[in-house]
Structure 1
Amino acid sequence: MTADSSTSTGTTAPAEPEPEPGPLPPGYRWRWWILGTVLVAEVMDLLDTTIVSIASPAIQRDFGGGTSQIQWISAAYTLTFAVLLITGARLGDLVGRKRMFLIGTAGFTFFSALCAVASGSGMLIGSRAAQGAFAAMMIPQGLGIMREVFPPKEVGGAFAAFGPVMGLSSVIGPILGGFLVTADLLGTGWRMIFLINIPLGIAALVLGSRMFPRNTRTPGATRLDLPGVLLLSAAFLLLVYPLVQGRDLGWPVWTYLSMAASVPLLAVFALYQRRVRAGGGSPLVEPGLFRNRAFTSALGVGIFFFAAMSGLMLTLTLAMQLGQGWTAMHAGATMIPLSLGIAVGAGLSGAVLGPRYGRRVLHAGMAVMTVGVLGLWASYAHWGLQISSWDLIAGLAVTGLGMGLLMAPFFDIALAGVTDQQAGSAAGVLNAVQQLGGSIGVAALGTGFFSWAASSGFVHATGWTLGLTAAGLVVSAALGFGLPRMARPEPAGH
């Protein structure tokens, strides 16, 4: 009997069976433990950055040396992180993300221990640079591993956990740093800020080795572009090294020549990447990205914004401890309104405002942050060295709110103009620019701060630094008009 005749007699054809679910991703049963492990790695990186800024004056008191050493304690980490982040992501594609995550975590933990037992500033700065290098091997693997173990319908929820964790880390970092330095637990002083990485690192190693899926590689990935790595590393070093060291050396001619040479070397790097792609090779960075106006605008926004943010965080803590004579605990507690503002702004922007208003939220965030920075400048101009923590609450809270509004949707909007094939390379470049911007901010604003403090005092130095921060935010806002209006929509099923 045909289907038509069965219908005419009142019977119904059997319903088509539900399609069989596809095979579960490797590591699916451990996916939430894997998410927790990736977040532990992110927390180690974030805490390491925020805690060290608070502890820098205490470290200098122990080791002595010039003011450039304070800058290098922060810049050595962020610079090597920026230089090697794209390389770390590429190595994950080539040799397996699990393997690179474990290597990066082991190295980060080991050099955290070396930082804690450092006998001098040279050993500490060298260990910080090694920490940043291994963090660049560790951090890029997390997002790729999560995409492997979470089915499409759960990926969005897993990534949503990053915002609150990063916001909480930004709140805890300055407070924890100030407490550890002031409490002097077991007589360790500032060394405890590095010792806390050891149990976290061991936990990440144990969980990662047991639960991460076997090493997976990106299809089509070939060999590492070593000449590209060397060209990019050299360009970054030529720019940042003289910025940090120039003041202590009296700004000899070679410092200016070095900074100028970084620009043509970056151009050589771009030309070389095009040549590798034209020859059918696998470049470190997809050259087509730099023909994308929206993406290049995102790079400009990122450089200026993250430079302003990192330089501001360092110079404020220096002004509080070296200028006002506050303890590390007092300075860390004073920064609580900034951290809370970041958490509130990121929550509002990521969950509500960003998806609805897109690029307008970035501009609003930069405008709010600029108002907050100008408020801090007015407070220092009015109160001088007699300023109290209460006088800074409003300016810090507004500044943090603006930071949070911008940071939450920035990467989604910045990546909206790139193709799916370019997305991995673009994300790596943006993360590297974030770290490079931080290095430049610490170097440039830190150098200016110490120069002005030496000639005109800490109040004058703080005022000039805050003014330059506001100017950087204005430039960043202007470049932001080149970004796409909205973030890229989620693929179907996410």
Structure 2
Amino acid sequence: MTTVQAPPAPDDRRWKALGVCLTAGFISLLDTSIVNVALPSMEHGLGASEAAQSWVVSGYALTFGLVLVPAGRLGDMRGRRQAFLFGLAVFTLASAACGLAPSASWLVLFRLIQGTAAGVVAPQTSGLIQQMFQGAERAKAFGLLGSVIGVSTAVGPLAGGLLINAVGTDDGWRWVFFVNLPIGIAAFAAGLRLLPRFPASADKREEFDLFGVLLLGSGVLALMLPLVQEQQWTGRLKWALMPVAALLLAAFWAWERREGRRGRAPLVDLNLFSLRSFTLGALISLIYFAGFTTVFFVYTLFLQNTVGYSALTAGLSVLPFAIASAIGAALGGRLVVRHGRKLVVVGLSGVAAGLLGVVVAVQLVPGQNVGWASALPLLIGGIGSGLAVSPNTTLTLTRVPVHRAGAAGGVLQTGQRVGSAAGIAVVGAVYFAHLANHGRSVIAIQLGLLTAVGIIMIALVLAVADLRERQVHPEPERAGETVRRDSGEDGAGEPVRRGA
């Protein structure tokens, strides 16, 4: 099945449209971390219980991760522009509702809706990039997307700290959500004018795989629930959901294969996994996000609870990572066409080195100056993160057929959300266990960071192994073999080859 490619829009219009996508992506990803420093304000101003605070954080992550693949597929079928604008509108309205919430229960409900809307927006961005750009321009666009991913994750604690410091403890948490309103409204208005009207699926008879959505959603939910609630659900019974998740995801895989053999359009085209670039890139992304996103969780907790930093000062302490990540991602987007997987290897090595530097800084410079001592290692880690995330995203999606770009982007980002939840559960467990048993916070943060480094090293080993495999066997599979014979175009008029 093929889709008709509309001619590219003029350069300035395409890049302005990308700006709209990146703005929406920024505020939706910012909301994964900005609320962390606002939890004490919610407790003080709203009377939110510990359970409610947990669901404000984890509920957003859950619904965000659950809808990514179905929303990406829906955008592939019915048009990414419409799906993007719908998700952005709901996200903006839900942000207003969160800020106006009269009770903790209402806040949790609106937060679930906000996360769902964010999950609708996210895969449309990668799909629109695939449609609007080709070749080196596409790599540059993904580089800018990598900048947004890195900055939005790292700058959340700083933004939340600034708002609470400016407004006060009682109502500061409300402005964490209100800040999305002017940005969301402006992005929606610009999107109406700038986003291109690319045609949706050429086959209007294509049906949405509802049973596949049910299986995948149930599997992801069973997988993520014990991870995001690891600290709140005591006991080991929660881990019984893991084999349930494995069974549901295996059933989803079997169902999708059956749909493909019957000539129907599956939720996820499993032929995508015959692309080495997609499979390996998605796996590296999942593992890396399990490592690097946990740093802001345990490190900012350490700075506030042990060193005595305010929420604002703790946020400022991770700013070097955010700035360097943006620079590294933009640079990676320009260099990935020339250097490929080598950049990912260099980037992951830089992140590991930077975090090891933080471990040393915490040991050598205890007390209030630890933030200054960690600035340079975080700067190195941030550059490495940008060089890893941006090129890996480009390499993962570059050979995906355009009419599957939304679902493929959803798969990639679902892995990132699952990885983040798993990493926080593992690294958080190491940090809190040592803190509870021994009470030595410096050792606890060092063990937590070393665990994160260990996770990142797994991703590095995969990247190095792939790089060596390419050097020995540059074309490991039959040249010219396409992912699907009826969809052998990648949107740039080039055959989609395996072994990418």
Instruction: Please tell me the TM-score bracket, short chain as reference.
Output: 0.7 to 0.9
- Mapped contact 1:97–1:145 kept (Cα < 8 A): yes
Distance 1:430 1:363 in 2: 19
Question: 1:378 offset after TM fit, Å?
Answer: 2.3
**Equivalent residue runs for 1:417-456 within 5 Å:** 423-456=405-438
Q: Corresponding residue for 1:388? A: 370
Change (3 A) 1:231 1:120: same
Change (3 A) 1:69 1:370: farther
Q: Corresponding residue for 2:188? A: 205
- Mapped contact 1:79–1:439 kept (Cα < 8 A): no
**Equivalent residue runs for 1:206-285 within 5 Å:** 206-213=189-196, 216-220=199-203, 222-253=206-237, 255-285=238-268
- Mapped contact 1:34–1:212 kept (Cα < 8 A): yes
Distance 1:309 1:105 in 2: 27
Match of 1:97 among 80, 91, 98: 80
Distance 1:23 1:41 in 2: 24
- Mapped contact 1:28–1:149 kept (Cα < 8 A): no
- Mapped contact 2:320–2:378 kept (Cα < 8 A): yes
Determine if the alignment matches structure 1 residue 322 to structure 2 residue 329: no
Distance 1:150 1:367 in 2: 30
User: Larger radius of gyration, structure 1 or 2?
Assistant: 1
Question: 1:334 offset after TM fit, Å?
Answer: 0.9
**CA distances 1:198-254 after superposition (whole Å, capped 9, x unpaired):** 11122223233345455742223612111111111111221221233344343143x
Change (3 A) 1:55 1:449: farther
Residue identity opposite 1:472 in structure 2: I
Q: Corresponding residue for 2:356? A: 374
Change (3 A) 1:481 1:50: same
Match of 2:460 among 444, 462, 477: 477
- Mapped contact 2:147–2:330 kept (Cα < 8 A): yes
Further displaced range: 161-170 or 392-401: 161-170
- Mapped contact 2:94–2:111 kept (Cα < 8 A): yes
**Equivalent residue runs for 1:116-131 within 5 Å:** 116-131=99-114
Distance 2:108 2:466 in 1: 37
Residue identity opposite 1:362 in structure 2: V
Instruction: Indicate the SS of the match to 1:51.
Output: coil
**Equivalent residue runs for 1:32-47 within 5 Å:** 33-47=16-30
- Mapped contact 2:92–2:180 kept (Cα < 8 A): yes
**CA distances 1:356-379 after superposition (whole Å, capped 9, x unpaired):** 322122112111111111221222
**CA distances 1:363-397 after superposition (whole Å, capped 9, x unpaired):** 12111111111221222234455553212212211
Q: Corresponding residue for 1:462? A: 445
Distance 1:31 1:417 in 2: 21
Change (3 A) 1:169 1:258: closer
Question: 1:453 offset after TM fit, Å?
Answer: 2.8
Determine if the alignment matches structure 1 residue 363 to structure 2 residue 334: no
**Equivalent residue runs for 1:51-200 within 5 Å:** 51-60=34-43, 62=45, 63=47, 65-66=49-50, 72-145=55-128, 161-162=144-145, 169=152, 172-184=155-167, 188-200=171-183
Change (3 A) 1:158 1:259: closer
- Mapped contact 1:37–1:208 kept (Cα < 8 A): yes
**CA distances 1:136-170 after superposition (whole Å, capped 9, x unpaired):** 22233345456666799976776665455556656
Give aligned pairs, total. Answer: 469
Unaligned runs of 5+ in 2: 476-489, 495-500
Instruction: Indicate the SS of the match to 1:281.
Output: coil
> Percent identical across equivalent pairs?
33
Unaligned runs of 5+ in 1: 1-21
Question: 1:446 offset after TM fit, Å?
Answer: 3.2
Instruction: Indicate the SS of the match to 1:188.
Output: helix
Instruction: Indicate the SS of the match to 1:218.
Output: coil
- Mapped contact 2:141–2:333 kept (Cα < 8 A): no
Distance 1:164 1:461 in 2: 30
Q: Corresponding residue for 1:401? A: 383
Q: Output the aligned Cα RMSD.
A: 3.4
- Mapped contact 1:34–1:208 kept (Cα < 8 A): yes
Q: Corresponding residue for 1:10? A: none
Distance 1:288 1:392 in 2: 44
Change (3 A) 1:337 1:265: same
Question: 1:29 offset after TM fit, Å?
Answer: 8.9
Residue identity opposite 1:202 in structure 2: I
**CA distances 1:28-71 after superposition (whole Å, capped 9, x unpaired):** 995455333223212222332342234344445554544x6655
- Mapped contact 1:338–1:400 kept (Cα < 8 A): yes
- Mapped contact 2:41–2:170 kept (Cα < 8 A): no
